[in-house]
Copies of this chain bind each other. A is one copy, B any other.
């Protein structure tokens, strides 16, 4: 078994390298996000979460709040707040869906697209400088594959108690 594990005081500790990986992962991402946040705030006056919302809306016609929430790791009430901020800033519009009065359709405006265009180069520059530049391209590819698997694995994780809004099974 490769899983040689220490057993201290009843706690089965993973090997040091595993802990190392976890800590390096979270710390590096924290640092990265911090820099990204600065850049977006400085160049476009938006937060990272707002940027992600705009990016999610950028390619499509419009999305409901729920669809938006599925694409962004975020609480629903927080999303409501941010959507309101973005609307106030004129970067998105919100209107009730004609098909389902409960649903809110969110769409990006021209001004929103303009903002994306304004901050995207800097955003890319920051990630290039901090992430792509730090490691060889081959490693980056492997990293991407690995993290995609982790992401999918966690997404499939059954929630601890209540079901977390799965995709709404095609009606009927």
Chain A residues in contact with chain B, CB under 8 A?
A: 1-3, 9-14, 17-18, 20-22, 24-35, 38, 73, 117, 120-121, 124, 127-135, 137, 139-144, 146-151, 153-155, 157, 160
Contact = CB atoms under 8 A, between A and B. Distances in A.
A116 to B, nearest CB: 10
A140 to B, nearest CB: 5
Could you say how many copies of this chain the assembly holds? 2
Contact of A27 (B27, B73, B139, B149): B73
A150 B24 CA distance: 8
Contact of A146 (B13, B17, B139, B148): B139
A117 B11 contact: yes
Specify which of A18, A142, A154 lies most central, judged by the most chain B CB atoms within 10 Å of its CB: A154
B14 A25 contact: no
B141 A17 contact: yes
A35 B148 contact: no
Contacts of A10: 121
Given A24-B144, A143-B146, A153-B134, A128 B14 contact: yes
A132 B19 CA distance: 10
27 contacts: A9-B117, A10-B121, A12-B121, A14-B132, A17-B141, A21-B144, A22-B144, A24-B148, A24-B150, A24-B151, A25-B131, A26-B32, A27-B147, A28-B148, A28-B150, A28-B151, A29-B29, A31-B73, A31-B151, A31-B154, A35-B157, A38-B160, A130-B157, A134-B154, A135-B146, A143-B146, A143-B147
